[in-house]
Structures are given as structure tokens and as C-alpha cells.
Structure 1
Amino acid sequence: MASGKVSVAAAVDPEQAQRKASRIRLSGFAWAALTVMIFSGWFVVTRLGVTRELRIWDIAALRFGIGGILLAPTVVRRGSRLSAAAWGEGLIFAVLWGVPFVLLVALGLKLTSAAQAASVAPTLMPVFAGVFGWGFLRERQGRSRWIGYAAIITGLVCLVGAGVAAHGKPNPFGIFALTAAAAMWAIYTLLFRRSGLTPIQSAALICLWSMALYLPVYLFLGLSRFSLASPGEIAMQGIYQGVLMSGVALITYNRAVSLLGSSAATAVIALLPAVASVLAIPVLGETPSLAEGVSIVIIVFGVLLASRPAPARIAAVPRASTHSQT
């Protein structure tokens, strides 16, 4: 009698585990989708800023100055103080996804276009994350993910090639800056997944370290051009850079990585070219060609494959089920 109850419970457990995993995965995709929407707008808004009165330095100052002030209470108030090791992790994260990352992307946006920048950095990032995870962390990727990575790279090459035909040869320094930013983004994603920090703690530390290290240099060298920009432009950049990017997007992206894993979360981010290209049409007047549209479809196909669950997770359910029946 007892053994019958045990066998029934053991048979139900894998089903409950599967349902729970599906809910977690759906929630992770929702966080990732919100991140994609904010990031897509960021490429367009940043491109708009660096091609007018503001410069790369002003964008970084707004992003981390406002973000640091808003997020500081989450890590410095009484009862929430972090250890020295956590602050050390935050410094590493700030180097990877703080001021250096923003300056590289802003430079890429300055030298290319919103569509090209949104195609290179977010598209290469999941490929770097998958390769680094496989090479250094021994993470299994599976055939589907490797095919997905190959499709993403193929779509990117076609997209850049189509852009050359439609808009001229892209600046090689801009492409290099965006590629370097993608590699840094991927390393951050892999490290955050294995850190003990929460999404909001990581976001706060990135902003605080970036603010502490960058703003004194920015002010001392007199790099500000805020006096030349209109109040509306400063307000728009301040809200998007300081609130949405430094606060909301950092937290939603970290949450997606926590729920989906680094490979799947970063693959979803590769959808940015499609969304950013659409947003760039009414805002910047940058209309993608037919060939660029087809290339984006190839990238989306690669994302669908690369964001599938890792092989080990799929294989775990049948083994547990077989064991429960024996």
C-alpha cells in the first residue's frame, strides 16, 4: 500500500517539476522581452544623442550618475550592506558592463548607425557567451544551439553586407568597438550567473562603481556639453540613460539570466536588431533594405534555436522518471 503511494508520488513529481520549469522559463522570457524593448530604444536614443549636441562622455555621465543615485539605497542602507567580496565582484562587473561598455557602444553608434550597432553588439553577445561557456566552463550547448549560433552569425554577416550595399561601407573602428562590447557583455553574463548577487544588487554596484570612478574624471577634464543641449534633450537622455538603462534594464536583464541561464537569456537579446531597426525608421529615418530585413529573419531563426534549453536539462526528466518506476 505504502509502496503504491510512493510510486504514484514519484510519478507525479517529474510532471510537477516540468510545470514549474515551464513557469520559470516563461517568466524568464517575459523579463528578457522587457529588456529587449528597453535596449532597442537605447540604441536609437543614444544614436540620437551622440549625433546632436551631447557626446559619448555626457551619455555615460547621465547613465551612471543618475543610476548610482537612484540605486545607492539598495546596497548602502542599514541591514543591506554588502561584504567586501561582493563589492569586489561589483567592481569587476562595472569594468565589464559599466563605463567601458557604454563608451564602446556609444563610439560604435557614433561611427556606424543605430541598425548596424544594434546588429553587431547584441547579436555577437550570445555567440560569445555560448563559446566562452563551452570553452571555459564546460557548459554543454547541444546541436540546436550550435546551429542557432551559426544562423545568428550568418544573419549578421548578411546584414552587414546588405548595409554596405544600401548605406556604404561601415567604419571598421566602429565595428571593432561593438565587437569588443559584445565580448565584455558575454563575460559579465557568465560571471553574474555564478555570483551570489541579486539582480538589483548587481545593477546598483555597477552604477556606484562607475559613478565613483568616472564622474570625477569627467568633471575634472571639463568634458560636459550640457550647456549646448536643450533641456528637452537632456531630460530625455537622463530618463532613458539614468532610469531605464541603469535601473530597469539592468535589473530585468539580470533577472532573465537568473531564470533562463546565460545562454538562453543572451540568445533572446539577439532579437534587438529586429526591434531597433523598426524603431529607427520613425525616429532616425534609417530604413532597412529588403536584404537587411531577410538577414534579420535569419537572426531571429538563430535566436529560436540558441534559446532552447540545454541538453542536460532535457535528459534529466526521463532518467528521474525511469528511476522512479524501478
Structure 2
Amino acid sequence: MTPRTQGYLYVLITMLIWGGFTLTSRLNVKWGIEAWDITALRFALAFVILVPILIYKKDLAFLWKKEPFILAMIGGVGYCLTAYTAFHYVPAAHAAIFLNGFIPLCTAFAGFLIFKHAFDKHTWLSVIIMLASISAMSFLMYRETGVAFGLGDLLFVFSAMWWGVFSVLLRQWKLSAWHAMSGVAIWSAIVYLPIYLLFLPKHLSEPEPIHLVLQTLFHGICVVIIATLTYVEAIKRLGAFKTGSIVTLAPFLAAVIAVPVLGEPLSLAIICGLIGMAIGALQPWRWFGRKDSLQKQLEQQKKQSN
């Protein structure tokens, strides 16, 4: 299997998990699983799996640095609580628009505010497209329902902000995929679980046990561990831009699948928002004539051999 084929295989795995995250998070609402509970179960399972592995590998020293702790508070606890809570207020399509659609925009703004990374012309064009699509969607939603922007949408925007800052810090600090994933999961569990057990409401007796088991396994293993590792491996083989562009499609496809599977509405306003935010996030105009990192590396090796 060639490196490029491996890259697309890793992308496919990541897409399936990211799309599943959108659908299963919305399914939590139908199954009566609260955001507080799934967050606790997610980090508890990851903690139980990862700590013995780190002890066996004698690879615990990195946990005592400030970087894994900060990443856990932002991309772990902060992101999960706002994202899972938002699904209780709005359909899955809103997650594709206000969460996944806003992540590239929030990442660019975070890079500018924290490290003064200037916007390029592609980012500015994405900003214009996204703002135009959100304005059109809000106008249509107000005409249809009398509400242009709800609490769930605001929580998704906050989630995108958390993830944008998380992505910029992760890129700046250059942690390995294993250390980043392990640090976020373990520190999130250490900080969040005591707060959850002592102070937060619990509704673990209300959902069906099989539903709790399925959601815990998917979010604790697939989302936290597998998707992080496959995403990074795909970037190594295909490049960050191409990998990110393809994977970003997953939540938008999940939003469409949620219509027949979960019986969710798909109005003109939602369609407008999905199309506009997808174009802004994917930046399809950059695909033409753009070489990925693998192609550049092969060309460089060929020049050196000659």
C-alpha cells in the first residue's frame, strides 16, 4: 500500500468517526444521556485505557508539563461540555454550520490574536463567504421561526472557539499525537471527574444501560483515541490542507444523514447555511494547482537523487 493510499485510508477512518460524533451526540438527546454524563464517561474510559499503557511504557514525564494541562482544559473539558450541551438545543445540521463550519475561522482568529499570524487572501475570502451565508441563514430562520440565532448555536460557536485555540496551541507547541491525545484525556479526567462526582447532576439511571455502554465505547475510544491518531497520520501522508478539507466534509454529510435517520428538519435556511459554510471551510478554490506535502517531498527527493 502506497503512502498516499494509506493517507486516504486514515482519512476515511477519521471521517467515519467525526461524522459519527455528530450523529451520536444528537442521539444522546433521544436516549436521555446528559452532557455532564457522557463527558465523564468519555474521559473515564480513556483514562482507564491510557494510564496503564503510559505506566508500562514509562512515559509519564510529559504529563507534568503545563502544555498538556492547558490543552486538556481547552480542547478537552471546555470543548466537550459546550459541544455536548449544544446538541440538546439544536439539530445536527446546526453543528455542521456553527461548530465545524466555524472551526477554520476560529482557528485563523486564534492564530492572529495569540501569535499574530496574519490572514492570507484565502482566509479573508472564507470569512466573507461564511459571514454572508450566516447572515442569509439567520434572515431565513427568522422569517420561518421568528428566531435567528439560538442558545445551541451560541454554544457551538463557543465550542469552535475552544477548538480553534486548542489547534493553534497544539501546532505551536509541537506535541506528538500520542502525547497530545494522552495528555488531554488524562488531565481532563483528573480535573473533571472529581467535580462531576461531587457537584454536578447525574442521570445515569435513566438511559438504557446498552445505550450508555455504546456511547461510552464510541466517544471514549473512537473519538478520543483512534480519531486523533488517524488524523495525524493522514496529515503526515497527504498534508494538512488536503486532510483537513476532506475530513471537514464528514459533519456536513452527517447533518444530511440525520434528516432520515433521526427525523430532523432540513429547511431552506439550513440548506443555505450548510452550503455556504461548507464552501468557506473547504476553500475548494485552493485545490486547483496545489501540491500536497507528500508530492513536494517526493519531488525534493527526486531532485536530490539527480
Could you tell me whether the CA contact under 8 Å between 2:93 and 2:270 is conserved in 1? no
In 2 relative to 1, CA 266–177 (structure 1 residues): closer, same or farther, beyond 3 Å?
farther
In 2 relative to 1, CA 243–284 (structure 1 residues): closer, same or farther, beyond 3 Å?
same
In 2 relative to 1, CA 222–302 (structure 1 residues): closer, same or farther, beyond 3 Å?
closer
1:48 is matched with which residue: 14, 24, 27? 27
Between the aligned partners of 2:254 and 2:82, the Cα distance in structure 1 is: 18
* 1:82 alignment partner in structure 2: 61
State the 1:55 CA deviation.
1.0
What TM-score, normalized by structure 2, do the two folds share?
0.80
Between the aligned partners of 1:146 and 1:28, the Cα distance in structure 2 is: 29
* 1:72 alignment partner in structure 2: 51
1:215 is matched with which residue: 193, 196, 206? 193
Q: Return the letter of the residue paired with 2:170.
A: F
State the 1:217 CA deviation.
2.1
Please provide the CA RMSD for this pair: 3.5
1:178 is matched with which residue: 140, 151, 156? 156
State the 1:198 CA deviation.
1.6
Encode CA deviations 1:83-117: one digit per residue, 9 max, x unaligned: 355x4211111111112211101121112222112
3-state SS, counterpart of residue 169 of structure 1? coil
Between the aligned partners of 1:82 and 1:138, the Cα distance in structure 2 is: 31
* 1:107 alignment partner in structure 2: 85
Does the alignment pair 1:119 with 2:103? no
2:261 is matched with which residue: 283, 286, 303? 283
Could you tell me whether the CA contact under 8 Å between 1:105 and 1:178 is conserved in 2? yes
State the 1:65 CA deviation.
0.9
- 5+ unaligned residues in a row in structure 1: which ranges? 1-22
* 1:39 alignment partner in structure 2: 18
Could you tell me whether the CA contact under 8 Å between 2:68 and 2:183 is conserved in 1? yes
Could you tell me whether the CA contact under 8 Å between 2:100 and 2:248 is conserved in 1? yes
State the 1:165 CA deviation.
4.9
* 2:38 alignment partner in structure 1: 59
3-state SS, counterpart of residue 85 of structure 2? helix
Between the aligned partners of 1:28 and 1:189, the Cα distance in structure 2 is: 20
* 2:177 alignment partner in structure 1: 199
In 2 relative to 1, CA 261–158 (structure 1 residues): closer, same or farther, beyond 3 Å?
farther
Between the aligned partners of 2:168 and 2:4, the Cα distance in structure 1 is: 18
Q: Return the letter of the residue paired with 1:117.
A: A
3-state SS, counterpart of residue 111 of structure 1? coil
Between the aligned partners of 1:153 and 1:25, the Cα distance in structure 2 is: 35
Q: Return the letter of the residue paired with 1:58.
A: D
* 1:15 alignment partner in structure 2: none
Could you tell me whether the CA contact under 8 Å between 2:63 and 2:69 is conserved in 1? no
Between the aligned partners of 1:286 and 1:143, the Cα distance in structure 2 is: 36
3-state SS, counterpart of residue 102 of structure 1? helix
Aligned residues: 295
Between the aligned partners of 2:128 and 2:112, the Cα distance in structure 1 is: 15
State the 1:135 CA deviation.
4.7
Could you tell me whether the CA contact under 8 Å between 1:56 and 1:106 is conserved in 2? yes
Structure-to-structure mapping, 1:315-326, within 5 angstroms: none
State the 1:31 CA deviation.
4.2
Could you tell me whether the CA contact under 8 Å between 1:40 and 1:272 is conserved in 2? yes
For the pair shown, the structure with the greater C-alpha radius of gyration is: 1
Between the aligned partners of 2:138 and 2:246, the Cα distance in structure 1 is: 20
Between the aligned partners of 1:63 and 1:179, the Cα distance in structure 2 is: 22
3-state SS, counterpart of residue 283 of structure 2? helix
Q: Among all aligned residue pairs of Structure 1 and Structure 2, give the percentage whose two residues are the same amino acid.
A: 24
Between the aligned partners of 2:273 and 2:82, the Cα distance in structure 1 is: 24
Structure-to-structure mapping, 1:127-146, within 5 angstroms: 127-139=105-117, 141-146=119-124
State the 1:264 CA deviation.
6.5
